[in-house]
Amino acid sequence: MTTTRRRSGSKGENHETRFLNKGIDFKAKVVGDAVVPAARGEKMCHDILRSLKAKVKTSGKHKPRVVINVAVDGIKVKDEKSQEVLKTFHIHTISFISHDPADSRVFALIDGVQEDQGYTLHAFKSEKTASAVTNAIKQLFQLVYKYRREMKRKEAEKKVENKPAANGAASATVADSKHLDTTTGEDMFAVSRTKIY
């Protein structure tokens, strides 16, 4: 006789509903922040992570304990005791996520809106493996991409319904618009190209 173990959580709950409700919380410590010259770069991240960890070690201070909340409205870093929101990262501003090759619990994310404002690397040490946090962020990216694609598809269908078709042009409009970003009109696959390890 074989038995199967049910996953914890409410019946039928998937990652979408968890992101839409309260989000998913992960306990972590802040390793540090650093301004970086580029929005992406594995080697750059590893070098800066090494530098930030060395600074923390030489300072002798304890790393602040935080809770990282991953939800559809963004990633919030909250003080573990007071639950005060210290930082908020919106999905569209995160350009890169990297794991530390020397420590499986350390990861970093780079955020920034435009090059003239600069990019900042934020490093954290999670209570368990960093992949739990980064996988949740990856799932959130996929969810946001899915919703944006669906919203764009519905907008395109409304335009087609309101506009009379001429020689099959309407069907081409719907097909061509499936991969367009709702805010910029650019290829939406750019959202899913954010590098997550």
The alpha carbon dihedral of 168, 170, 174, 180 has a sign of positive
The residue to which tokens 């805010």 are assigned? 183
How far apart, in whole angstroms, are the C-alpha atoms of residue 162 and residue 174? 13
- pLDDT of 10 over the 50 cut: no
- What six digits make up the tokens of 195? 């590098």
Q: Under 8 Å CB-to-CB from 40, ≥6 apart: which residues?
A: 95, 96, 110, 195
How far apart, in whole angstroms, are the C-alpha atoms of residue 108 and residue 6? 32
Q: Are 162 and 173 in contact (CB under 8 A)?
A: no
How far apart, in whole angstroms, are the C-alpha atoms of residue 22 and residue 69? 8
Percent of the chain with pLDDT strictly greater than 70 = 72
* Mean per-residue pLDDT over the chain, rounded: 77
pLDDT tens profile 122-152: 999 999 899 999 988 888 888 888 888 888 8
pTM, 2 dp = 0.67
How far apart, in whole angstroms, are the C-alpha atoms of residue 155 and residue 160? 9
